Amino acid sequence: MSRRKARVVAVQYIYAYEFGTSENPYAFMDFVGHPKKENDRIFCKKLIDGTIENLEIIDRLIKKYATKGDDIMAIIDKCILRVGIYELLFENQAHPVVVINEYVNISKELSTPSGKALINAILDRVLKGEKNER
């Protein structure tokens, strides 16, 4: 459960980042009260930093694999996808199916009812498409 919280907090931070936050990720984690374990805090910071550092690449992938375009996508869905794509392509700590499932579950918590299908479809396309290109 604590890895899930780290992922949720990373998505929340990226959402705040979308609106201009420059708050230190550790201060943000303290503010929201999660994650508590140090190794989960490190994992969360890695997700945040990695997503921000690779934002251009990740956003290009979202545009590439979002069949209806990313301009009509809810901001929270885009933030979930950003962190999910980062973890899927740049981190090798969890099996890709587990990663996709985690972000689909996060979308159930943070997004609209239709968000989970969108998250699942795009992450699956990214995984299959980018695995073939590597």
Write down the pLDDT at residue 70. 61
* Overall fold of domain 2-133: N-utilizing Substance Protein B Homolog; Chain A (1.10.940)
Write down the pLDDT at residue 102. 97
Q: Pick the residue with more confidence: 130 or 78?
A: 78
Range name among 4-8, 27-31, 35-39, 67-71 with the lowest pLDDT average: 67-71
Element (H, E) at 18: helix 2-18
Domain boundaries, the chain: 2-133
CA distance 35 to 29: 7
Q: Secondary structure of the chain: what % helix, strand, coil (to 5)? A: 80, 0, 20
Q: What is the pLDDT of residues 56-73, one digit of tens each?
A: 999 999 999 998 766 678
Write down the pLDDT at residue 5. 93
Element (H, E) at 116: helix 115-133
Mean pLDDT calculated for residue range 89-111 = 94
